[in-house]
A and B are shown apart, each in its own frame.
Chain A
Amino acid sequence: MKIGVVTFPGSLDDGDARRAARLAGAEAVQLWHADSSLHDVDAVVLPGGFSYGDYLRCGAIARFSPVMESVIDAARGGLPVLGICNGFQVLCEAHLLPGALLRNAHMHFRNRDWKLKVESTSTAWTSGYTESQEIVIPVKNGEGRYTADEKTLDMLEAEGRVVFRYLDGNPNGSQREIAGIRNEAGNVVGLMPHPEHAVEALTGPFGGGTDGLAMFTSVLSNLGAKA
């Protein structure tokens, strides 16, 4: 199984995302922003960072890169796509996910471990968790305030498309404590916290947490079941 990780100019966490994919048992493939080929990968991760300097708006310019045209087409066709942090912003800009991510309400960058509740396990990336499971994953953003109009928020709730919610406080002022959402089909998931930073005891959250690894193993077992 091959998990492709896109590198945009300004990506920071592409290396960690590839490492997480490898630790989960996948072959990690580096995808380049200017190359429209997805190189036959079985799933794609859009990593954290500041693609194209985050100029104009976070993710706005990355959305028009050659690789994204292919990712958008493939995602509509069912390819599992996970957007982490900046990757989540890119997915919203690409309209693969509804809403937008804005400057944290308190203007501070937030960088710390955060407790999340898994609210939807019917996605390609979260089937390895249990419903309502509490996990700890690092939050690391300055523009992570999830925002959508009330109608969209109600629709996400009604359709069970809120995948992760912040617990014990809200690191950025996200509406309804939303940390991650999915598309209708469940193959596309975006979240602001960083599962790829919680995959090894040595470097994971305090206490050696590896709660992020299940996101990568989930997609592999789903792909395995399909094959």
Chain B
Amino acid sequence: MARVVVDVMLKPEILDPQGQAVANALPRLGVTEVSSVRIGKRIELEFTGEPDLDKAREIADKLLANTVIESFEVRLEESADTARTAQ
């Protein structure tokens, strides 16, 4: 079954203290080549029938993202099971 994936990210101009905290921890792992970390959400929607991208966009716009501070992208993703069956 295909699922719809919604990626939600804070808009670039919005400060992300969570991402900064992670970035500040990277040197403790010995990582020095990462200059910025920003954290978002990945939301997976499974429809009972055919996945409906327009409906998913509406859900994302109304509830999953707050477009005052966040942007979102909606895409179809074949699940691992479906992909294997297709082979």
C-alpha spacing A105/B14, complex, angstroms: 11
Does residue B25 face the partner (Cβ distance < 8 Å to A)? no
What residues of A have a CB within 8 angstroms of the CB of B63 in the complex? 56, 60-61, 64
| Contact present for A100 and B69 (CB under 8 Å) | yes
Grouping DSSP codes into helix (H, G, I), strand (E, B) and loop, the B interface class, with mixed when no group exceeds half, is: loop
Does residue B18 face the partner (Cβ distance < 8 Å to A)? yes
Taking residues whose C-beta sits less than 8 angstroms from the other chain, chain A's interface range is: 20 to 34
Does residue A76 face the partner (Cβ distance < 8 Å to B)? no
| Contact present for A105 and B15 (CB under 8 Å) | yes
Taking residues whose C-beta sits less than 8 angstroms from the other chain, chain B's interface range is: 10 to 19
The smallest C-beta distance from B78 to any residue of chain A, in angstroms, reads 26
| Contact present for A100 and B66 (CB under 8 Å) | yes
C-alpha spacing A72/B79, complex, angstroms: 40
Does residue B68 face the partner (Cβ distance < 8 Å to A)? yes
| Contact present for A60 and B15 (CB under 8 Å) | no
C-alpha spacing A171/B68, complex, angstroms: 22
The smallest C-beta distance from B4 to any residue of chain A, in angstroms, reads 17
| Contact present for A57 and B66 (CB under 8 Å) | yes
The listed residue (A56, A102, A145, A147) touching B64 by CB distance below 8 A is A56
Does residue A41 face the partner (Cβ distance < 8 Å to B)? no
The listed residue (B13, B15, B18, B68) touching A99 by CB distance below 8 A is B68
The listed residue (A100, A104, A145, A173) touching B68 by CB distance below 8 A is A100
Q: Which residue of A lies closest to B18 (CB)?
A: A103
| Contact present for B18 and A147 (CB under 8 Å) | no
Interface residues of B (CB under 8 A from A): 13-15, 17-18, 21, 63-64, 66, 68-69
| A–B Cβ pairs within 8 angstroms, 14 of them | A93-B66, A98-B68, A99-B68, A102-B14, A104-B17, A105-B15, A105-B17, A106-B17, A107-B18, A145-B15, A147-B14, A147-B68, A147-B69, A148-B68
